[in-house]
Amino acid sequence: MLVFLNFSRDITETAAASPLCDVVIFYLSPCEGFIKGGADPAPECCVGAKRLIDELKAKEDRIEVCLCIKALLPQLGPFDPNRVPLLGQKCGIKNFFPPITPATDCS
């Protein structure tokens, strides 16, 4: 969780700069262990992921969140990009996000 918070200032000043990036970091910080390969997402992770999806009102919002996640994930160290959509499956969230890698086209 601290990694998400430590990089929040750097990320919001990069290509993922958006008001939503702070929200992404807040809601998904409990998911760090799962994204890095942990067994199951913590309940707090699922609550945060669901709240994040609930706040996305337009396609542009999803694009901004994707850009933020795309900028954040490499900062975590080794991770499996397939864990992002798996998070949606494990938490019961339809239409979460596809695998996100540095090559992902967020548009």
Cα four-point dihedral sign 73, 7, 59, 46: positive
Segment 32-80, tens digit of pLDDT? 999 888 889 999 999 999 999 998 888 998 899 899 988 888 888 888 8
Q: Are 49 and 67 in contact (CB under 8 A)?
A: no
- Asked if CATH classification 3.30.450.40 holds for the domain at 20-91, the reply, yes or no, is no
Is 70 exceeded by the pLDDT of residue 9? no
- Higher-pLDDT residue of 102 and 63 is 63
Look-up of token digits 């548009």: 107
**pLDDT score for 50:** 94
Report how far residue 107's alpha carbon sits from residue 95's, in angstroms, rounded to the nearest whole number. 15
Model pTM? 0.77
**pLDDT score for 102:** 81
Residue ranges per domain, the chain? 20-91
- Mean pLDDT, range 7-11, rounded to an integer: 42
**pLDDT score for 19:** 67
Closest-CA residue to 53 (of 31, 73, 74): 31
Q: How is residue 88 written in tokens?
A: 């949606």
